[in-house]
Structure 1
């Protein structure tokens, strides 16, 4: 994993509240933060992986089935982005 992505994910993790952190374990990533990550030129999927690693290291959040959660999150992000794009245009 790229060091810049790991650092970005750790900074995002530190900025999240407990509800957002709990959502990570279910593959629900905060859209407002992930859109900013994408605008900054980071690969969202790599940041998802790094966030799941942060969640796995945190004892208060149990991150299991990392890849299935990421697949769900990726599908949700595509749906959200397509919905936003549809309503903007």
Structure 2
């Protein structure tokens, strides 16, 4: 199962490292990542593989919510099938 992680907020040092560390902690494989700085806003989209994740989705969401709060950023994780359904015309 794959998912899309989006991160948006004021640019600070270590955002990619912190999000990647949570992925490693939960055994989530990062397959692709794109990031950019728009004025002073950091924007990142990650495609991740959850097939070997060691926790259920509620725990994964809670862990990412905690890191988002710590960083003062918006972070969302959406399973690929939900993301595809939301953007299917």
**What's the TM-score, normalizing by structure 2?**
0.35
Q: Identify the structure with bigger relative contact order (alpha carbons < 8 Å, sequence gap 6+).
A: 2
Normalized per residue, the structure richer in strand is 2
Which of the pair is proportionally richer in helix? 1
